[in-house]
Amino acid sequence: MPKVAPSILAADFSVLGDEVRRIGEAGADYIHIDIMDGVFVPNITIGPPVIRSLRKFTDVPFIAHLMISHPERHIDAFAESGSDIIEIHIESDQADPHETLRAIRRAGCKAGLAVNPPTPIESMFDYLNEIDLVLVMSVNPGFGGQSFLPEILPKIPAVKKELEERGLDIPIEVDGGINRETGLLASEAGADILAAGTYVFRSRSAKEAIDSLRGAGEESKS
């Protein structure tokens, strides 16, 4: 059964604290927080002060997904804001991804590494021993509400096979265009965490949407 990480990019930002509380009470396993700087991706979203202000609304773990250039400059700030997992992109401009991942762990957070749709999954294999989470992007990052790109699906079993051969028990998150149908595809391919924004936050019932994603995972096993 996959875990579900609703992405607050699709939330109502005028009542963001209430939205985070609502999604936590609906059964979210994580809160996925997209951080964009207008450089690595064209959009701009939020930073550590907002995460810090949201922390009091829920105990659900926060995933800070850093879609930013030179993430190494901001690791401590995101860790101190209340992030539990910090994800960086292998494509991002940074001095040394190895050192950035080590810095995340030194700061007391789990380290995640993301790969964009055009990037070969093998590009992250050198870093697998230094991470706690793999993030496979199923859209090109920058904006919410995009359609799932099915061509990324082979990346999931490919990285899962590599992890198993190394004896690593690391979950694989898939982010972008996730709904019940695409969640089923991702789960069938081996995804452990489904990050869904619009499908959860814009649904009639967040709980029903979250449960349906978990149900898609159960369906994939059968």
Q: Residue 189: what pLDDT?
A: 97
Q: Residue 222: what pLDDT?
A: 57
Domains of the chain: 3-221 (3.20.20.70)
The answer to whether 9 touches 197, Cβ cutoff 8 Å, is yes
d(CA 3, CA 27): 10
Q: Residue 22: what pLDDT?
A: 98
SS3 at position 211: helix
Q: Catalytic: which of 12, 34, 96, 192?
A: 34
User: What residue ranges of the chain have pLDDT lower than 70?
Assistant: 217-222
* Strand-by-strand arrangement of the 172-175 sheet: 3-6, 193-196, 172-175, 133-137, 110-115, 85-89, 62-67, 31-36
Q: Residue 194: what pLDDT?
A: 98
Phi (first) and psi of residue 2, to 5 degrees? -70, 150
Q: Catalytic: which of 37, 132, 175, 192?
A: 175
> Hey, which residues does 174 pair with through a beta bridge?
136, 194
The answer to whether 134 touches 171, Cβ cutoff 8 Å, is yes
At 36, list the tokens: 């964009």
Q: What is the dihedral of CA 108, 30, 7, 174, to 10 degrees?
A: 90
The answer to whether 133 touches 173, Cβ cutoff 8 Å, is yes
Q: Residue 142: what pLDDT?
A: 82
Is 34 marked active-site? yes
